[in-house]
A and B are shown apart, each in its own frame.
Chain A
Amino acid sequence: MKKIHLVLLIFIAASIGVLISYTNTASTYDTIETAMQKPGKFVHLMAKLDKSVPLEYDAIKNPNYLRFTAIDSLGATVPVVYHSAKPENLEMSERIVLKGKYQNGTFVCEEIQTKCPSKYKEAEAKGLKHPGNVPDPRTQP
């Protein structure tokens, strides 16, 4: 066997090893119920803001403390704490991805990814009025 083939084999084995260990460290997409079943494990929680519960954020008192309740499509709810600034479009987002861990009754979030409906095609596909500029002539002077 050529030396170069030996090197090739070693590197390919290393690459496969890296990829397998990557899938082992990978996290999962979860609902609130499944996230609660694995406390302390880092998960991606798919949910949205529960608007029936007031949201707690006061940038003057502490810009790094946000508390709100998340609700998922199955109707389960969980209190969420996020130690950073409130994402500005949180209230408008039709879907949020919460990255963090469920611990002692709250979901401690390290990162929030918001999905705003207006920028996406689903809204148009559903025939919803685009929030852009289709004004109603009846209301115009």
Chain B
Amino acid sequence: MKYIGEHLLPGQLGHFFILLFLVGAALASVSYFLSQRAASDTDKIQWKNLGRISFFTQSLSVVAIFGLLFYIIQNHLFEYHYAWKHSSRSLEFKYLLACFWEGQEGSFLLWGLCQSILGLLLIRSAGKWEAPVMSVVSFAQFALATMVTGIYILGWKMGSNPFMLLRDSGVLDNAPALHLNFDVSQPLRPDYLSSIKDGNDLNPLLQNYWMVIHPPVLFMGFASTLIPFAYAIAALWTKQYQDWTKLTLPWALFSTAVLGVGIMMGGMWAYESLSFGGYWAWDPVENASLVPWMTGVAGLHTLLIFKATGHSLRATFLFFILTYLFILYSTFLTRSGILGETSVHAFTDLGMNWQLLSFLLIFTLPALFWFIKSYNQIPTIKKEEETSSREFWMFIGSLVIFLSALVIIGQTSLPVFNKLFNTKLAPPADVEFSYNSVQIYVAIILAFLTAISHYLKYRSTHAAYFWKKMLVPLAISILLSIGFILLGEVAYDRKGPVFQGSIWVAILLSFYTIIANFSYIFIGIKGKLQEAGGSIAHVGFGLVLVGILISSSNKEIISNNINGIPAPLGEGENPRENLTLVKNLPIDMGSYTLTYEGDSAHPKKQLWYYKIRFKKKDGKEEFVLEPNAFVNYKGNQGLMANPSARHYWDHDVFTYITSIPDPANQRDTTQFKSYVQKTGDTIFYANGYMIVDSTKIRKELPKDLFGENGKLYEVPINIFSKTGSKYLVTSRSAFVKGQWIALPDTLSSEGLIVLLEQADETGKVQLGIKQSDAILKYVTLKAYKYPFIKLLWYGVWITAFGLLLSMYNRIKKNRVKSQPA
């Protein structure tokens, strides 16, 4: 059957390129493998050339697939399931890329694209290592390609194809209106596509600019961990156990920088667009990408030890192999749906678990087997490291960060543990503290080692030299951190004195790291900037630690509610954190007075911006924050809130909407109810009572406005609500140019409208009273104060800069060395 309006060409091309991707990657891997195994030089070169051609082909295919899928999304070709599921016509152009990688298929392609780019760079730079290294890289590409093929092999579905048509996806199977004779057993109507007017859109939480940039950087980070892994495997394979380290070092530096930045960009996205109230929640998805970064950092440091002293080569192998395996493990965790209830933002399960598991095992088992088999052949130095040597303490640091990574991944793997042993364990009550209470000691050890280790020399250090250089930075940091702790009031006593003391120690040592490493640039390497990459990265790391410690321990909820029902707090209960603002009614919140001034809608989407005015009580400052929220947005019922923050040099004020009135209750159906009253009489309403204060009549009125015999009645009424609040409203009625005009008064916090229906000079009045929710526009919000969060962001950028500077420096040194003398 022919269907009207379908564009099948991009999909057909897409299918072709996916097969080419798969075949090209497989062929490249095999060719490189045979090139390495070949006995004669001509065979080696021939196979290598075939490998290169295949790798170029698969790289081009990935680019083509990328372009075709983007074309489909950009042109809203909803006959394709991917476009229908992840995009919509109203989506801004800048988010089209974000919907590209919202789905598993697109993110696998992104990963494949990053690995292709790095593979091409390797072909240029790997020299004699090209064949074995590229064989591993191409095999990884092949594994990724299987994830997007979507073909059936012996009844097993392999991968999920991004070019699947909507009508083949099963989504339309149960929609009778789209089938002939409204019968789902009949084929689709030829004009079915004319009924598919719009797609499901990108998840509103992902409609944020960080979601355009965070995934490419993160996947580049993932891809980069493959290179040290591939070199390590190549070294085990060729039994050249030492030579690979020189070429791997720049890659390891690159990987640490890019993966680290990618992870923290995810944190920035969470901070700016999620209502978790923070940048890090120890969520399994976050942990799963942090752990390979940590093992990679451990590998980077043992690699440096090896290059300087010849120690720690075995550990370097292990750390780099495990880094990539942890990337695969994290892929399995986040994409298989195994995390279930424990994570709020894992991918949707696509039913490819067996395939993801095979992906993990096909790398893990051979790599670890090979490592164990070759363990005794990897050269090692029998002589023990001196305790006064740099390598001794660097190794301890690497060990601590590595074991800390193992502990984190162990804690994160609770759902896997449940599956394996059929238990029903759930994360503990305070998930964050279960991590923080351990990692604070890791931070203390690492900060201390990072501070001192540059002042230690490789092999051994004279005590006098060490102490002479160390003491001044230590003294400065003690003073600085005491000042900070006292002035910044870092008083996090909720978890007891031990934890609080640990935070103080950690802050002190983080300052020490910053100052000691900063001074080292001048003391140790005499201001030579090119050599300073390591020190700069460590300064950045210190800033990251200080930023994390201060912003988390001193995070303050400033929307603590005092106007609710005065219910006593139970033991261990959180204080009431939400505050309701009725429109135009100023409410106290800490040192601010808040007013909800109104809202405005996005021109195309059901996205609302709520205008909240913050006014300092001392009158010094006033600003408006506009947190926004998607309301009942395309299949995402309810409210999806995006925070808004005001940034200062030393803190952020951060707020988001937690509740709004149900739109269904907003229809105003209630009628005015009339009451005939005299002064002093009481009227009861649902939430309290009101007393007519007096009746005033004014006759001396400007004639140009009121005409002849103009009259104005004013009836002030005191309103006493159940909550104990007292209000005054004044209802008016005017006789203007021969006509009565009612000027009702409203009390929005009580939902009251008071209308003066009749009045006369005896003081008898008839009041119309209406109470409804509809006039009550309100929002409920939460607000936080984050001190010194900027230090964290600056620290991340400085660390990355230092790492990349080191990378540049190492690449340059490698070039100089490899040039013939």
Give chain A residues whose Cβ lies under 8 Å from the Cβ of B177: 134-138
Add 12 more A-B contacts to A44-B341, A59-B580, A116-B637 (CB < 8 A). A14-B403, A18-B407, A61-B565, A62-B576, A85-B578, A90-B638, A113-B341, A121-B349, A124-B170, A127-B173, A128-B174, A138-B177
Docked CA distance A92–B578 (Å): 22
Give chain B residues whose Cβ lies under 8 Å from the Cβ of A14: 403
B175 touches A121 (CB 8 A): no
Docked CA distance A4–B392 (Å): 8
Interface string of A43-74 (1 = CB under 8 A from B): 11010000000000001111111000000000
B384 touches A3 (CB 8 A): yes
B570 touches A108 (CB 8 A): yes
Q: Tell yes or no: B172 within 8 A of A by CB.
A: yes
When A22-B411, A110-B574 are in contact, do A119 and B348 touch as well, CB less than 8 Å?
yes
A116 touches B403 (CB 8 A): no
Docked CA distance A28–B776 (Å): 42
Count A-side interface residues using an 8 Å CB cutoff: 64
Residue on A nearest B566 in the bound complex, by CB: A62
Nearest chain A CB to B9 CB, angstrom units: 24
Chain B interface: which size bin? 35 or more
A11 touches B400 (CB 8 A): yes
Residue on A nearest B387 in the bound complex, by CB: A3
Docked CA distance A26–B293 (Å): 26
Nearest chain A CB to B569 CB, angstrom units: 8
Give chain B residues whose Cβ lies under 8 Å from the Cβ of A92: 637-638
When A3-B384, A19-B407, A88-B659 are in contact, do A61 and B429 touch as well, CB less than 8 Å?
no
A26 touches B197 (CB 8 A): no
When A18-B407, A63-B580 are in contact, do A83 and B573 touch as well, CB less than 8 Å?
yes
Give chain B residues whose Cβ lies under 8 Å from the Cβ of A90: 638
When A8-B399, A84-B577 are in contact, do A134 and B385 touch as well, CB less than 8 Å?
no
Q: Which 5 A-B pairs have the closest CB atoms?
A: A88-B638, A89-B638, A88-B639, A62-B564, A85-B658
B171 touches A60 (CB 8 A): no
Give chain B residues whose Cβ lies under 8 Å from the Cβ of A4: 384-385, 392, 395-396
Docked CA distance A7–B778 (Å): 60
Q: Tell yes or no: B702 within 8 A of A by CB.
A: no
Interface string of B392-407 (1 = CB under 8 A from A): 1001100110011011
What are 26 inter-chain pairs, A to B, with CB distance below 8 A? A4-B396, A7-B399, A8-B399, A26-B426, A26-B427, A26-B428, A44-B426, A59-B780, A60-B580, A61-B565, A85-B659, A88-B659, A89-B636, A91-B637, A113-B341, A118-B636, A119-B203, A121-B351, A124-B171, A128-B174, A130-B635, A132-B199, A132-B635, A135-B195, A138-B177, A140-B195
Of A84, A118, A138, the residue contacting B637 (CB under 8 A) is A118
Docked CA distance A137–B178 (Å): 8
A63 touches B659 (CB 8 A): yes
Nearest chain A CB to B165 CB, angstrom units: 15
Nearest chain A CB to B554 CB, angstrom units: 22
Q: Tell yes or no: B461 within 8 A of A by CB.
A: no
A85 touches B780 (CB 8 A): yes
Of B348, B395, B411, B660, the residue contacting A120 (CB under 8 A) is B348
Which residue numbers of A lie inside 8 Å of B, CB to CB? 2-4, 7-8, 11-12, 14-15, 18-19, 22-23, 25-30, 42-44, 46, 59-65, 83-92, 97, 99, 108, 110, 113, 116, 118-121, 124, 127-138, 140
Of A7, A26, A128, A136, the residue contacting B425 (CB under 8 A) is A26
Give chain A residues whose Cβ lies under 8 Å from the Cβ of B172: 134
Nearest chain A CB to B98 CB, angstrom units: 16
Q: Tell yes or no: B749 within 8 A of A by CB.
A: yes
B171 touches A12 (CB 8 A): no
Q: Tell yes or no: B198 within 8 A of A by CB.
A: yes
Give chain A residues whose Cβ lies under 8 Å from the Cβ of B384: 2-4
When A12-B403, A60-B749 are in contact, do A97 and B341 touch as well, CB less than 8 Å?
yes
B348 touches A15 (CB 8 A): no
Residue on A nearest B395 in the bound complex, by CB: A4
Give chain B residues whose Cβ lies under 8 Å from the Cβ of A136: 175, 177
A59 touches B659 (CB 8 A): yes
Nearest chain B CB to A64 CB, angstrom units: 4
Residue on A nearest B428 in the bound complex, by CB: A25
Give chain B residues whose Cβ lies under 8 Å from the Cβ of A2: 384
Of B403, B426, B723, the residue contacting A43 (CB under 8 A) is B426
Give chain A residues whose Cβ lies under 8 Å from the Cβ of B173: 127
Docked CA distance A110–B428 (Å): 12
Docked CA distance A60–B442 (Å): 45
Docked CA distance A129–B175 (Å): 7
When A118-B636, A132-B199 are in contact, do A27 and B580 touch as well, CB less than 8 Å?
no
B637 touches A135 (CB 8 A): no
Q: Tell yes or no: B361 within 8 A of A by CB.
A: no
Give chain A residues whose Cβ lies under 8 Å from the Cβ of B565: 61-62, 65
Q: B172, B197, B406, B578: which has the most chain A beta carbons within 10 Å?
A: B578
Give chain B residues whose Cβ lies under 8 Å from the Cβ of A18: 407, 438
Give chain A residues whose Cβ lies under 8 Å from the Cβ of B658: 63, 84-85
A65 touches B564 (CB 8 A): yes
Nearest chain A CB to B204 CB, angstrom units: 11
Give chain B residues whose Cβ lies under 8 Å from the Cβ of A124: 170-171
Docked CA distance A140–B176 (Å): 15
Docked CA distance A135–B577 (Å): 41
Residue on A nearest B567 in the bound complex, by CB: A65
Give chain B residues whose Cβ lies under 8 Å from the Cβ of A131: 635
When A88-B659, A134-B196 are in contact, do A27 and B428 touch as well, CB less than 8 Å?
yes
Give chain A residues whose Cβ lies under 8 Å from the Cβ of B567: 62, 65
When A4-B385, A60-B778, A64-B564 are in contact, do A133 and B659 touch as well, CB less than 8 Å?
no
Docked CA distance A22–B200 (Å): 41
